[in-house]
Structure 1
């Protein structure tokens, strides 16, 4: 683009040529009899332009001046632009001295940081600055008396949190911030020097059916927990000092990241702590801090468990052992029962052949009845050991839930079997045992 004064010069030259042409004798010319010699040569136009006032250059006197290059014209036009007061720009420190600092902000001229502004950073802040460092600066004066662009590092640092928030909004960066306050509308979090807000509509596991009292109770729990919440910036308004964040938009990405990181750090056999988040027929899910592990129903206890609710409840804190890891499928297997010694490993210390024990019938089959003993070990009363006369159907003698007095007749730790007998309990032993229960029942009635 040519400067405006060059365009004006060319226009004046063109007008002068029109006047000269008007003063010449008029001749009728057509395309067929046009004579090139009668037309003004193009060199005349160039000479006329040269006679006008053009910028002086290094050429010799009398020689036509050179036209500005496109780069020079663009540079001149670019330099005409001035930053606005209060604008924040990123730059690189060129030099630092007792008089201040010089910062390259991408313009033709460099920006000046006064020494007084550096003093506001404090001794540590000023000492931390160095040449080549990337910093934010705020425009104080687009041009002082000497034409310098005056900027402030200290002022920009006051706005850095807003700049960072805007960058986080644009990049979608995942944040983890702890709530510092709760109000009727949501949570307040500290984002640097800025206070951000997370509306209840942007919180996970916050049902709409909650009453206002339930909402406040839940919000207060999050504040008192003092645990970081995964968040993303969804709105930044510096003018209104408005910073809005969302847990919903961050949740699944955060869960994925935490689970991958946790899977990489875990080892089989490692003990972990977590919170029960849900119960299913097949097991219990435990939150290990961003990633869920599964305790299969068979790993809940050494005793028989039909449903996880018999052992656990949602919200309960548990300590479990990692028993399986599938990093490709991102699955973590946990065990609760392996936190305790396996009863079969000390079966000989617990029971001896001929010993009388109590047990509860857990299942009745055609070949006998399974009984759970106090230590969680399950034994079998074979149908032949139910009575002196073998019944056709074991269900005719015992039922699920019956409490029985039994005699241990066989222990096989290697096969994890323990044989029990109802038939080999004498009538006298049975009567004494039954009487002890009646006595305990009478004592309970007296206490009531």
Structure 2
């Protein structure tokens, strides 16, 4: 009795082209499915009308007993044939949803259905495309591992007339980075000393990652000594300690210094050098009143012209030349004023004294051996000078 009533209702149901019906999948073949929509005969759903994307078998998308909505796209009462489309219904729903997400800038998940030349394809009820340049923030050479993978995306271009839906995963990643960058900038303070990683080297300096934000270490702030090229001192991936010099939150710029995070050359010199020390150095500059000698990176001391030689000289270049390696004695050091007084002459005079002592010792030994010649006879004047 129930079945007869249902048949009568089916017979009374009127169906028209473009009508959307809810039905149940009654049979699934390789290239089509039959959909029971309560009409006197079932609707035929061709494989081409199942999905917006290419599929190999209807069973890849549908199964018997599944309830779906379809649109009548062709009706032939004489042949008892009704062609329906699931794809058309999905597209109408998809365009409305995509328009809303596009306007709201909404981020949503999409599963990669296929890999094609130039990017990735997803099924959103309509075909969505993720260009290769919008997959990641970095260059990806091989996309083979992306099929079946779910990515968070947002719509960056939408054109219903051209059936065009462009998506971007990179835009989502960049938003996350910018959000993180804002948080990092809020927490950083000028004057702080923090750890960072060298990300990129340029001719004018090095970009250092300090917690998700890149700051610039200008070439003049890399070391206390002169640096010709950043690559002479640093390489990408190096861990460095930097001091924050300045933060420009509006323009998201951070100025950093590696050298300011280290003890200055004169601070170090105060620890390393003492008055009376003899150290090696290099003549950096010759001036009329003396020579400047570098005894450590960034630390130069003055050898006054009177302290260059143990004889009178008219100009420093009579004895020295720039670039020459010399030993100097520290006469005075003032780290606060970054000054150091040096002497080459005192080293020479000390050497002369040592040589004299050796000569005296030698002849003393000979006199004691009964040579019959006194030191006074041989070195009277020299001994007087030595004793004085």
Which bracket does the TM-score occupy, shorter chain normalised? Answer: 0.3 to 0.5
Query: TM-score, normalised on structure 2?
Result: 0.48
Query: TM-score, normalised on structure 1?
Result: 0.42
Higher strand share: 2
